[in-house]
Every structure is written in structure tokens, then in C-alpha cells.
């Protein structure tokens, strides 16, 4: 089983980059499942629209995950319940619209994708414990599923803590949210693949996808500044995961990074 997970899609440039490279990535790696984090995919970098969901589906994306910008576009309330393979963080309070996990059926077995959010430095959100939320979902899943967790969190320590907690239960824990790809990919002792952050898809010369002048101004002045999505050169960050079809444990994890300074070597 091979899963391609692509990092946070940021704004229009992120979507354009996805359109350009998904066909090439599919041809090169032949993934069985493609998952993308879409919480920044709208033009302003906050949330996702129905049109964008359809656009990603047409590219062959099987599942979309979200994060702290889940509710960034008001229209999300009109379609989040009906979209079968669109998942928002499962540790939102009980009764929140949408779902925290979904299961995909493939010729090589069932893949369950979970979305969870960390709690450190994610205020003003009030979230349930992601570890306990995982355990609750895990009990609902039949044995023999591949389980991929998109852990949307700020700190490396919380992401690592979660990964060690679910080692041997989840097939992979891939971090999102910071928009900066880390270089700590590994397979934990009980077979869970781990990467602290997969990175983003979108502007390369901004600051985590935003116009850098605006971000710098905020730090210089300490005054509120409304960020805008940057334009210009692109970057694409993703991770390729291979799993044993009998044990559902990870066999291989490979980071992918493409930008104008980093040629793509397959």
C-alpha cells in the first residue's frame, strides 16, 4: 500500500501548483491513495470552498483534511456533512458539524484517515484531548485498516508525544500546520511512520505562505496586521508512505520537496 500525503495547500498559487504536479506525482509514484490538507486552500488562505473540494477531487485526491481554519469560509457549513471524505479535527467538541475520520476502500485494503488537532499554542480553541479522541475513534475501526493521522499542531513536542502514544496502532502520523517541512522522518519501533511536519504547497518566497512584508511589519510594530497570501515562485512539500499489506505497518517514508531551488529528483 502506498499513500501520498501532500501538505497544507495555501491559496490560489497552492492550488495551481497542485494542478501542475499531482499528475506528475501520480505517474512517478503510483500512489494508491492521495490525501491533502485543504484548510488554507481558499484564496485568502483560510478554509476551503465547495468548488475547491470538487477541483481537488477531479485531480484524483481521495481525502481532504482540515485544521484550525476549518471554518474560515462560511459556506463550509453547507457541505461539510455531505462530503464523505472531507474530515475536520475529531477533537472539536461533541456536536460540531462534520466528522473526524473517514474510511477509503481500495483494492489493497481499507484506509482510515483521521484528523486531530494539538492544543499547545492553539488558543482560543477549546479542544478535547487528541490522544483520548484517537482512542475513541480507534475502538470504532475494524481490525486490519491502514490508519493515517493528520496531526495538525504547533509544537514538535506535542506531535512527537502523540506519535509515540499511538505507535503500533496508527500506520502513520504526519504533522501539519507549521507550513515548514521537517527532516525527522522515521519509523517508530512498533511500525508507525512519523514526520513532524510535511510542509506546505504554495508561495515559496513568502513567510509560511503569507506576504513577507506584512509578517515582518507585525513583528516590528507589534500591531495587528491582516496577512495576505503571497504570490510568485512556488513550493510543493509532500510525503510518500509505503506499508506492509499484511501487518499494516510502515516499511518506508520518503519526504518530497519541489521548488525552483530544489530540483525534483525522483
Question: In whole angstroms, what separates CA 126 from the centre of its chain?
Answer: 21
Consult the annotation and say whether 37 binds a ligand: no
Active site residue 69: yes
Report which DSSP code applies to 229. Answer: B
Q: 187 burial class (0-12, 13-18, 19+ CB within 10 angstroms)?
A: middle
Give me the residue label for grid cell 520518503: 254
Q: What is the pLDDT of residues 21-53, one digit of tens each?
A: 999 999 999 999 999 999 999 999 999 999 999
CATH of segment(s) 2-259: 3.60.21.10
* Rounded mean pLDDT, 211-232: 95
Judge whether residue 14 has pLDDT over 70: yes
Judge whether residue 266 has pLDDT over 60: no
Look at residue 177 in the predicted model and tell me its pLDDT: 97
Consult the annotation and say whether 115 binds a ligand: no
DSSP 49-112: -HHHHHHHHHTT--EEE--TTTTSSTTHHHHTTT-TTEE--TTSPTT-SS-SEEEEEETTEEEE
* Rounded mean pLDDT, 203-223: 96
- Higher-confidence position of 143 and 202: 202
Consult the annotation and say whether 85 binds a ligand: no
Q: Would you place residue 122 in the very low, low, confident or very high pLDDT band (cuts 50, 70, 90)?
A: confident
Q: What is the pLDDT of residues 39-88, one digit of tens each?
A: 999 999 999 999 999 999 999 999 999 999 999 999 999 999 999 999 99
* Rounded mean pLDDT, 142-146: 93
Consult the annotation and say whether 40 binds a ligand: yes
pTM of the entire structure?
Answer: 0.96
Of 85, 79, 45, nearest in space to 63 by CA = 85
Look at residue 126 in the predicted model and tell me its pLDDT: 86
Task: Give backbone dihedrals phi and psi of 127, rounded to 5 degrees, phi first.
Answer: -120, 150
Judge whether residue 105 has pLDDT over 90: yes
Residue 213 β-bridge partners: none
Look at residue 236 in the predicted model and tell me its pLDDT: 98
Query: Which residues lie below 8 Å from residue 171, measured CB to CB, with a gap of 6+?
Result: 146, 147, 148, 191, 192, 193, 241, 243, 248, 249, 250
Consult the annotation and say whether 145 binds a ligand: no
Amino acid at each position: 500500500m502506498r499513500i501520498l500525503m501532500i501538505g497544507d495547500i495555501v491559496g490560489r498559487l497552492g492550488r495551481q501548483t497542485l494542478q501542475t504536479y499531482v499528475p506528475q506525482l501520480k505517474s512517478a509514484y503510483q500512489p494508491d491513495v492521495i490525501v491533502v490538507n485543504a484548510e488554507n486552500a481558499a484564496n485568502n488562505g483560510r478554509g476551503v470552498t465547495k468548488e475547491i473540494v470538487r477541483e481537488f477531487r477531479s485531480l484524483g485526491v481521495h481525502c481532504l483534511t482540515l485544521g484550525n481554519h476549518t471554518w474560515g469560509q462560511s459556506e463550509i457549513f453547507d457541505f461539510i456533512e455531505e462530503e464523505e471524505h472531507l474530515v475536520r479535527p475529531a477533537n472539536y467538541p461533541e456536536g460540531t458539524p462534520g466528522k473526524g475520520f473517514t474510511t477509503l476502500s481500495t483494492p489493497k485494503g481499507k484506509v482510515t484517515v483521521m484528523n486531530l488537532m494539538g492544543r499547545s499554542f492553539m488558543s482560543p480553541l477549546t479542544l478535547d484531548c487528541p490522544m483520548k479522541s484517537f482512542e475513541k475513534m480507534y475502538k470504532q475501526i475494524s481490525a486490519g485498516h491502514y490508519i493515517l493521522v493528520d496531526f495538525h499542531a504547533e509544537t514538535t513536542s506535542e506531535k512527537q508525544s502523540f506519535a509515540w502514544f499511538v505507535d503500533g496502532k496508527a500506520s502513520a502520523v504526519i504533522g501539519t500546520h507549521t507550513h515548514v517541512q521537517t527532516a525527522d522522518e522515521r519509523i517508530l519501533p512498533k511500525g508507525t511512520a512519523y514526520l513532524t511536519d510535511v510542509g506546505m504547497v504554495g508561495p515559496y518566497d513568502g513567510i509560511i505562505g503569507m506576504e513577507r512584508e506584512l509578517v515582518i511589519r507585525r513583528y516590528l510594530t507589534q500591531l495587528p496586521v491582516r496577512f495576505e497570501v503571497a504570490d510568485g515562485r512556488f513550493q510543493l512539500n509532500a510525503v510518500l508512505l509505503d506499508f506492509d499489506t499484511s501487518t499494516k505497518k510502515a516499511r518506508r517514508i520518503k519526504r518530497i520537496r519541489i521548488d525552483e531551488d530544489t530540483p525534483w529528483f525522483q
